[in-house]
């Protein structure tokens, strides 16, 4: 199976390489290249969709055309069947949805690369969402990342300059993060932590999990409604929303030491009362106290425009290698 998958990925990569060469020769063909890449990533499945989603946040590396096209990977994934969702819920929680919930909508509200969400009502009438992991997605990610890891290792052997970029370590880190994102029980623990930390916030809302209804493949949370953060109708509130967003991250980084690590537009709603509502806590970063102190120094040094202080703080954060030319 892994041989067939390796061939599939290799043929896809070769096809994109040919398209990229053709785009260099024919400028008109270059206009279609981002769409081809996005469609190829969708065909290759969840692992590569997640990689494309990560790239869509790199405005420092990619042009607006690429950002817009890869940004389409954030939503619109093909849903899996209601029967499969019911089977996952029954296997995880021990009962079928019609026994666990007063109502359960078999049609998904939304589908993403690793899970989809269904609407439901608890026996006490509360509206909730039921997040269900795609069947087999963890094994598929493991298989794909073994291939990516092998390619990364081979690349460092054939191209020594890649060793300095530590691509093998990068591939291992991506793999670890993807495994964490596909463990909904870990996500439930993350949600509880953030919901409790911000339960009395006037600007941020975190829908809490429902106790006793979480497992590695299923997560049940409070229902929340709101506008997509990218809705043009919110343009008049942009400055206020940006201030809320920045303050939320300052609280996470410097007070909690834990932060939401995947804040793409599909994970943020604006509630009717103006609060920002955050979802999908599968990817969470952690800062220890030493890292927080170094980050505070870095921000202060940047604000003061002090290059020596900034270099010291960057070194403490691990952004500069030992022996780097400080004067440069």
DSSP 72: G
Cβ-contact 110, 116 below 8 angstroms: yes
Spatial neighbors of 55 by CB under 8 A, at least 6 apart, are 61, 62, 66, 70
**Whether the Cβ atoms of residue 117 and residue 53 lie closer than 8 Å to each other:** no
| Residue indicated by tokens 């943020």 | 268
Q: Which helix (H) or strand (E) holds 33?
A: helix 33-44
Helix, strand, or coil (residue 120): strand
Q: What three-state secondary structure class fits 127?
A: strand
Using alpha carbons, list the distances in angstroms from residue 306 to 104, 123, 303. Answer: 58, 59, 8
- The DSSP result for 78-90, as a single string, is PPPPHHHHHHHHH
Based on the residue annotation, tell me whether 273 is a catalytic residue of this protein: no
Report the C-alpha gap between 53 and 131 in whole angstroms: 19
Give the CA angle between residues 279, 281, 284 to the nearest 5°: 140
Catalytic residue among 103, 262, 288, 308: 262
- Could you count the other beta carbons within 10 Å of the beta carbon of residue 27? 8
Q: What are phi and psi of 60, to 5 degrees?
A: -75, -15
Q: Which two tokens stand for residue 80?
A: 């899996």
Instruction: Give the dihedral sign, CA 315/318/322/327.
Output: negative
* Residues designated as active site: 262
């Amino acid at each position: 199976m892994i041989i067939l998958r390796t061939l599939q990925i290799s043929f896809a990569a070769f096809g994109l390489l040919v398209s990229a060469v053709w785009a260099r020769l024919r400028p008109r063909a270059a206009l279609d290249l981002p769409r081809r890449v996005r469609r190829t990533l969708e065909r290759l499945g969840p692992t590569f969709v997640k990689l494309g989603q990560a790239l869509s946040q790199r405005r420092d590396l990619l042009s607006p055309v690429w950002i817009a096209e890869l940004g389409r990977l954030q939503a619109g994934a093909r849903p899996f069947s209601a029967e499969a969702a019911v089977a996952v819920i029954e296997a995880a929680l021990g009962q079928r949805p019609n026994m666990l919930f007063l109502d359960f909508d078999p049609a998904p509200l939304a589908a993403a690369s690793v899970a989809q969400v269904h609407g439901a009502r608890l026996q006490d009438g509360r509206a909730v969402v039921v997040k269900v992991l795609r069947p087999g997605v963890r094994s598929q990610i493991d298989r794909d990342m073994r291939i990516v890891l092998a390619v990364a290792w081979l690349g460092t052997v054939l191209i020594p300059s890649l060793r300095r970029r530590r691509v093998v370590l990068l591939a291992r880190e991506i793999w670890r993060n993807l495994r964490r994102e596909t463990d909904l029980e870990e996500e439930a623990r993350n949600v509880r932590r953030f919901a409790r930390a911000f339960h009395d916030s006037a600007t941020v809302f975190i829908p809490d999990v429902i106790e006793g209804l979480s497992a590695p493949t299923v997560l049940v949370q409070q229902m929340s409604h709101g506008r997509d953060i990218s809705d043009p109708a919110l343009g008049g509130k942009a400055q206020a929303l940006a201030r809320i967003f920045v303050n939320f991250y300052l609280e996470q980084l410097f007070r909690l030491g834990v932060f939401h690590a995947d804040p793409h537009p599909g994970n943020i709603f604006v509630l009717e009362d103006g609060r920002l509502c955050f979802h999908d806590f599968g990817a969470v970063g952690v800062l220890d106290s030493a890292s927080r102190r170094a980050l505070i120094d870095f921000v202060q040094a940047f604000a003061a425009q002090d290059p020596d202080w900034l270099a010291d703080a960057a070194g403490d954060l691990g952004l500069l290698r030992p022996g780097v030319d400080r004067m440069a």
